């Protein structure tokens, strides 16, 4: 009985310090140093509407946009998830075939693999620079831009995730598309 009493007293103490105190302290750090990302890295249009989060992939299906990686949850940022299919699964083969058709990939011009694989949360905002370049002809054509213009834009937005430890450069699809929109056409 005494043990239960002590347990309850310690429960109160840990709730106060490790939950309320701790969460408030971390919240305060966020508000003080990085208020923008602490609220979810939201991107607002000039008119004040939220167009998305820099960290979260959103669906792009129109040819004039770069397309992100496929999502097993259809880019549902309130219910994220992966395909959880085995890499040996025939379901993945079927899905890949649809995607190949959409991109028009051929043996001579094979698809970069991330464009055929869903990410863990289905919200991966990045693709590799290589996969963006792969989409250049379609985007350039849809927008009536030259391929060089689009490629320059890609290279401007590409960064090495992990600095010296990165093996390839990547781009944020939403930011790239926003830049495209800003460029017009």
- Does residue number 184 form part of the binding site for another protein (CB under 8 A)? no
Question: From the list 46, 48, 163, 184, which residue makes contact with another protein (rule: CB under 8 A)?
Answer: 163
Region 18-47 residues binding another protein, contact defined as CB under 8 A: 18-19, 22-23, 25-27, 29-30, 33-34, 37-42
Region 48-107 residues binding another protein, contact defined as CB under 8 A: 49-53, 55-62, 65, 69, 75-93, 96-97, 100, 105-107
Q: How many residues does the chain have?
A: 185
Quote the least distance from Cβ 113 to another protein, whole Å.
5
Q: How far apart are the first and last CA of the chain?
A: 75
Question: From the list 121, 142, 149, 179, which residue makes contact with another protein (rule: CB under 8 A)?
Answer: 121
* Residue 40, φ and ψ in degrees, nearest 5: 110, 20
Instruction: Give the separation between CA 146 and CA 185, rounded to whole angstroms.
Output: 12
4 Cβ partners below 8 Å, 6+ apart? Answer: none
* Residue whose CB is less far from another protein, 10 or 148: 10
* Residue whose CB is less far from another protein, 151 or 181: 181
Cβ 169 vs Cβ 129: under 8 Å? yes
Work out the widest C-alpha separation in the chain, in whole angstroms.
78
Tokens found for residue 175 = 């930011």
Region 122-161 residues binding another protein, contact defined as CB under 8 A: 122-128, 161
């Amino acid at each position: 009985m005494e043990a239960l009493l002590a347990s309850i007293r310690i429960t109160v103490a840990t709730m106060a310090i490790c939950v309320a105190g701790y969460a408030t302290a971390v919240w305060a750090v966020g508000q003080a140093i990085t208020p923008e990302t602490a609220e979810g890295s939201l991107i607002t249009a000039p008119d004040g509407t939220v167009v998305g989060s820099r960290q979260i992939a959103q669906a792009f299906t129109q040819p004039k946009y770069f397309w992100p990686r496929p999502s097993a949850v259809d880019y549902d940022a309130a219910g994220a998830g992966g395909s959880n299919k085995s890499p040996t699964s025939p379901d993945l083969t079927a899905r890949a075939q649809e995607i190949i058709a959409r991109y028009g990939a051929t043996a001579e011009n094979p698809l970069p693999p991330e464009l055929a694989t869903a990410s863990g949360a289905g919200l991966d905002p990045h693709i590799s620079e290589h996969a963006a370049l792969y989409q250049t002809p379609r985007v350039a054509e849809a927008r009536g831009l030259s391929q060089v213009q689009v490629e320059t834009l890609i290279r401007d937005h590409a960064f090495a995730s992990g600095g010296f430890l990165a093996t390839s450069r990547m781009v944020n699809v939403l930011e790239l598309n926003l830049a495209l929109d800003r460029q017009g056409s």
